[in-house]
Copies of this chain bind each other. A is one copy, B any other.
């Protein structure tokens, strides 16, 4: 009876097998198993086959936690977005993953919920997992957050904006100019009474500033500004009818579509082209939905997916241009 296989070799199914368990079973040293996993080319085919069989037999799953500690490389990136639900930032996260996953990086996702305190806590939580880079929407809201990032000495990519003094790299667009472009277009169309709908996050505020400045520069009255609850584009419908306004810039497409629903109810929406609309509406984000509704939504298109891909590229390749303006486009359809 049990002559072969001394008890140390048997793995209880209750404890997950380790590198050295595989090594014992394959009759090699553990570093060889490690190499089969990470650098298969360095191991002789015959040995490799033996090790691979042992791994399969034991159902070995490498422990990257231990590997990360030993090698000081976690192959992970921290991603901080305000929110992921119903948001265009999901495109950016998708773009990131698409670029990063083939290189073996994992995404650790955190949401700040537009809350500065929470943002700092999430940043600290992310950094304690020692990601190899942080990619975030916008810039840290507090000096504490910024310091945390600077001290981490890893690539940091700020996105969806062009901060004046970035921490490290940037992949975004100029929110101020977007506001200017919309105001300019609406005014060229003959609109006189502009209004802005949006939240009060930094990027939305910058859009407002550009919008306002251009309106004033062209001699119009100060536009009205409606600051709304996030996550409730529907609520826009209720407050939709801005008396006297004949042109509205919504800080995102969801708000724009909500506002259009209000206009529809008030009988202020036409099936015709922009020139026929009593109230012009321009959104931002270029949601696919926008071109499917009627009248189709004019919008500032901003390439959320490219922002993610570019951010990933910036963290993978140090050196070169560290601040990339991905621009935006004014996409004109029937709403304004």
Which residues from chain A sit less than 8 Å from chain B, CB to CB?
14, 16, 59, 61-66, 68-69, 74, 76, 83-87, 90-91, 93-94, 97, 101, 104, 106-111, 122, 124-130, 147-148, 151-153, 233-234, 237, 254, 257-258, 260-261, 264, 287-289, 291-294, 305
Partner of A63, one of B59, B64, B128, B305: B128
Nearest B residue to A292 via CB reads B261
- Is A294 a contact of B101 with CB atoms below 8 Å? no
Pairs A–B under 8 Å by Cβ, sample size 10? A65-B74, A65-B130, A84-B90, A87-B90, A94-B111, A97-B110, A97-B111, A107-B108, A108-B108, A261-B291
Q: Give every chain B residue within 8 A of A288 (Cβ-Cβ).
A: 86, 233-234, 254
Secondary structure type dominating chain A contacts: helix
Contacts of A101 in B (CB 8 A): 110-111, 122
Q: CB within 8 A of A108: which of B83, B106, B152, B153?
A: B106
CB-CB nearest in chain B for A259:
B292
Chain B residue, CB-CB nearest to A232: B288
CB nearest to A118 among chain B residues: B101
Report chain B residues within 8 Å CB of A90. Answer: 84-87, 90
Nearest chain B residue, comparing its CB with the CB of A17:
B151
A22 CB to nearest B CB, Å: 14
> How close is A165's CB to chain B, nearest CB, in angstroms?
20
Least CB distance, A144 to chain B, in whole angstroms? 11
Chain B residues with CB under 8 A of A128 = 61-64
Determine whether the beta carbon of B289 is less than 8 Å from that of A65: no
Q: Are A65 and B61 in contact (CB under 8 A)?
A: no
Residue with the greatest number of chain B CB neighbours at <10 A, chosen from A110, A127, A261, A289:
A289
Residue pair B84, A93 in contact (C-beta under 8 Å): yes
Q: List chain B residues, Cβ under 8 A from A76.
A: 108, 129
Q: How far is the CA of A264 from the CA of B292 in the complex (A)?
A: 10
Contact A65 B59 (CB under 8 A): no
Nearest chain B CB to A120 CB, angstrom units:
12
Q: How far is the CA of A106 from the CA of B109 in the complex (A)?
A: 7
Closest to A294 in B: B264
Nearest-Cβ distance from residue A126 to partner chain B, whole angstroms: 8
Least CB distance from A59 to B in Å reads 5
| A292-B65 contact in complex given A107-B108, A129-B106, C-beta closer than 8 Å | no
Bound CA span A24–B68, Å = 25
Flag if A65 contacts B260 (CB, 8 Å): no
